[in-house]
Amino acid sequence: MGEEVPEEATQRKYGVKLVRGPFLRLAPHREACDEESFMSYASKLRTDGARLAADLFSGAGGLSLGLEAAGYRVVLAADKDPEATETHHHHFGGLTVDWDLGNADRVERIAKLIADAKIELLAGGPPCQPFSRAGRSKIRDRVRNGFPDPSEDRKHLWRAYLEIIRLAMPPAVLMENVPDMALDREMFILRAMVHQMEHLGYAVEERVVDTSFYGVPQFRQRLILVALRDGISFTWPEGTPEQVTVWNAIGDLPSVEGGWRPKGGADGWAEYEGPKTAFQRRMREGMDEAEADRVYDQITRPVRPDDEVVFQSMTSGTRYSDIPVNLRRYRADIFDDKYKRLDENGLSRTITAHIAKDGYWYIHPRDNRTLTVREAARIQTFPDWYRFAGPPSAAFRQIGNAVPPLLGERLGEAVMKSIAAAEPATLPTAKISTMLAEWFRARTHLSVPWLRARTRWQVISGDILLERLSSHHVQLMWPIAARWEEPADTLAADKDLFNVAAWVDRKKRAERLLKIASHLAKDPEAIRDDQLIHSALGSSNAAIADLAILAVRSESAEDAEEPVLAGKGVLRVAARLNGDPALERRNRMSNGRLSVARIIGDGTQAREAHLGLIELANAVCRPEKPSCSLCPLVMVCLSADTLREDDSDEEVK
């Protein structure tokens, strides 16, 4: 139970004056056009040498702004947020539409606009909803076979995005999203997208990036996918030499009290003394000379008197549980991170749309208040001349949902350079997956024989009893362990189990296996279900459950999950293939798993490719003295030259 808050503290009422507005209305850009005049507008820009881009699910235009700084002209944008659309329409020429891309007719119309206008880069961040297992199975089959989804499936907007790519076939595609889109157990959406885009002839690269690596003053991880048509390789941009801190980003902005509003409403401003750092100077670029002494949107929420007392006592290291009990309004065991004063010498926590409703995660480093609209925009790398339509709550929401413009700029530059270089990409995922699956099928003896088990219990038994034993002991003991096809078989043969375990000093593992068997014997069907097996085995055995699911398919094809495993040595193989040793040391739950997914693909051979990857890690691509000459992927391995053994090494059968 959490710590009790005294009744008098919970009943104390504090009023805070409600301050509305100012409400900002933004006129359309002077070069804004409608659908009828769009083609002539795009044609004129192309004639003048412009490289055109489109931004779908564009929000307030953070990605658009970055792409324009990189040298593209964003001439087409779509979103369903009215205030965000108004903001984008004000800052960018061309066609900005308030369209629902879940509508099949809208998808076809916007794809035709992209194709007819000869847009070179399609960018966007489609939201991704969760799927039922049955829904995943149906959509996976359509994607794998290259069939467009029926219109009702386009409510999943990533499918609409894929359909637009298929219809328009732009030279380059850039997608941004939260890492959660990719890093579920199966990585279903990402694998499906990569499979479909490779089928269309794109070379695809994806990575989870920390935006601070590119000069954004916050810890903000995003999944980035880049696909270049005609098999052109994409090279990721290099990072900045130093991180930009919170105070480096906002330290020049004038101090204000909570709830402060300037005179003049939406046109009001705070007095500004000037920038002090390179980042601040960049944020001031583009301001009219007549406005050099002012800053707009330096407005924030009012602060309750009791909150102000709490803020005064806080440092960047203070947790909510450190706050005196009589000053708390929430349970400390549930809301231990409810309040967060930003560290002026570090990075901000991720600016999200949540800031529109609750600013307690973003308390100013020095002032006893939450961040202003302009400070949040600075941390997202929006320049000071960039304004946001609607009331402050809408501005906060638009800022939190945006792609940091500085990230968009670096990615846009990298896309442009990669297209100019036109270097051919390595083999597509489908080819690598096929090579690995064929190698696995051809092997007569496995170093991990339970990868070909008939039942999931055999997989569980083999992995617990025999993992990391010598090849000699595995080949000797596996035929015995394989006789126990179900938990009841193991319970009935407990004496044999302990005798076998004693040969290799694995009594504790035998006890562990017997305990699991005793539990599962009460519900033997649990291990046949892709969902129940995890609860049946417990969180400490999650990796073994995933291996059992992968090695022995569910009796129902609808339930087939095919999780992406990051253990069993597969990260080592991925690291060596990519020439990136860091993948093996870290990123088990992000870029490491992405690399594994790229090797196994999402085609019909993905499961056997994944099993082959595990076998490869154990039999060939070993930690010491790998047998590179026996590896089916040696021709695409970036580390082969430094790892290759002498051809006289004994072949692994």
- Dihedrals φ, ψ of 467, to 5°? -55, 135
Task: Please confirm whether the linkage preceding 404 is cis (ω < 30° from 0).
Answer: no
What DSSP assignment string belongs to 359-412? -TT-B-SSSSSBPPHHHHHHHTT--TT---SBSHHHHHHHHHHSPPHHHHHHHH
Query: How does DSSP classify residue 155?
Result: G
- Dihedrals φ, ψ of 259, to 5°? 85, 5
CB 294 within 8 A of CB 274: no
CA quadruple 530, 534, 535, 537: dihedral, nearest 10 = 120
- d(CA 588, CA 569) in angstroms, rounded, equals 11
Helices then strands, counting H and E runs in the chain, come out as 27, 9
Q: Is 128 an annotated catalytic residue? A: yes
- Dihedrals φ, ψ of 279, to 5°? -65, -45
Among residues 33, 128, 621, 631, which one is catalytic? Answer: 128
- Dihedrals φ, ψ of 624, to 5°? -120, 140
CB 58 within 8 A of CB 80: no
CB 455 within 8 A of CB 652: no
Instruction: Report how far apart, in Å, the C-alpha atoms of 510 and of each of 304, 313, 476, 543 are.
Output: 60, 55, 17, 18
Residue linked to tokens 């409510």: 155
Q: Phi-psi category of 391—alpha, beta or left, where left has phi over 0 and alpha has psi -120 to 50?
A: beta
Token pair for 318: 């203070």
CB 324 within 8 A of CB 307: no
Q: Which residues pair with 124 in a beta bridge?
A: 56, 175
Q: How far is CA 79 from the centre of its chain?
A: 21
Enzyme catalytic residues: 128
